[in-house]
């Protein structure tokens, strides 16, 4: 298979995976609907950046290190699960607080905060690097061409940022935002419960490896 064919196959598989619901979807949709469209796009870029980091690490062979040292993988899963629970608690605690939203965003600082939140959320799932490494191992040739080594992280960034930009665009529209404001406390508590459940599951799955 040519380099272009390998690249397209990997990107297609990753696009399907990116569209599956998870903590990243919860975070981006909530940021877009509760802050601004600009914040949503900043969060999408954060997801893309996190995906790019994982792609680089997968190509660099971090997965081999994780498979050699089980305790390191357990530590990563527990720490990342704790971070998701931290986000869940903050969402739940803010559920009853009134919210004013603006398409312009509150300040230049808000998009940076949205980017950082999304980036950390993306990096909080160590399973992602395993998925990337599995796809790379299955589809990449033994000697990976330099152009493919460069293209893969950029492609991952484009897939992740592109999908979550669509999510941000959809959820920052007027009608979804109006629905959110009308039922903010319930939606935030539901989002917090989902995030907390995902974080707890990540911790338990990490501890079960031991």
H helices present in the chain, as ranges? 3-18, 23-34, 37-60, 62-68, 70-93, 109-123, 127-139, 146-171, 174-182, 184-208
Q: For 1-13, how does the pLDDT look when each residue is reduced to its tens digit (9 = 90+)?
A: 677 888 888 888 8
- Identify whether 43 is part of a domain: yes
Domain range for 194: 3-96+124-208
Quick count: other Cβ atoms within 10 Å of Cβ 186? 11
Q: For 171-187, how does the pLDDT look when each residue is reduced to its tens digit (9 = 90+)?
A: 888 887 777 767 777 87
Q: What is the per-residue burial (b if ≥16 Cβ within 10 Å, else e) of 159-170? A: bbbebbbebbee
- Identify whether 108 is part of a domain: no
Q: For 134-169, how does the pLDDT look when each residue is reduced to its tens digit (9 = 90+)?
A: 777 667 776 778 888 889 999 999 999 999 999 999
- Identify whether 115 is part of a domain: no
Closest CA to 126 of 23, 32, 33, 196: 23
- Identify whether 114 is part of a domain: no
- Identify whether 111 is part of a domain: no
CA 3, 129, 44: angle at the middle one, nearest 5?
85
pLDDT of residue 124: 83
Query: Does pLDDT of 45 surpass 50?
Result: yes
Of residues 200 and 70, the one with the higher pLDDT is: 200
Query: Does pLDDT of 105 surpass 50?
Result: no
End-to-end CA distance of the chain: 39
pLDDT of residue 140: 75
Return the minimum-mean-pLDDT range out of 102-111, 115-124, 195-204: 102-111
Query: Does pLDDT of 104 surpass 50?
Result: no
Residue pair 87/41 in contact (Cβ under 8 Å)? The answer is no
Total domains, the chain? 1
- Identify whether 12 is part of a domain: yes
Residue pair 39/114 in contact (Cβ under 8 Å)? The answer is yes
- Identify whether 186 is part of a domain: yes
- Identify whether 155 is part of a domain: yes
């Amino acid at each position: 298979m040519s380099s272009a064919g390998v690249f397209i196959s990997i990107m297609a598989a990753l696009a399907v995976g990116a569209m599956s619901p998870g903590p990243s979807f919860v975070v981006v949709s909530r940021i877009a609907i509760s802050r601004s469209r600009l914040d949503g796009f900043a969060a999408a870029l954060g997801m893309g950046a996190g995906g790019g980091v994982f792609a680089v690490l997968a190509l660099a062979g971090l997965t081999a290190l994780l498979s050699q040292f089980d305790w390191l993988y357990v530590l990563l899963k527990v720490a990342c699960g704790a971070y998701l629970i931290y986000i869940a608690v903050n969402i739940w605690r803010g559920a009853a607080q009134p919210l004013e939203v603006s398409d312009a965003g509150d300040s230049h600082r808000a998009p940076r905060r949205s980017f950082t939140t999304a980036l950390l959320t993306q990096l909080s799932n160590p399973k992602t690097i395993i998925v990337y490494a599995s796809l790379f191992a299955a589809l990449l040739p033994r000697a990976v061409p330099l152009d493919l080594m460069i293209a893969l992280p950029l492609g991952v960034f484009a897939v992740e940022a592109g999908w979550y930009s669509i999510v941000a665009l959809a959820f920052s529209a007027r009608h979804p935002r109006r629905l959110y404001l009308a039922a903010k406390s319930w939606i935030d508590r539901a989002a917090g419960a989902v995030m907390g459940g995902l974080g707890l599951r990540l911790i338990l799955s990490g501890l079960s490896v031991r």
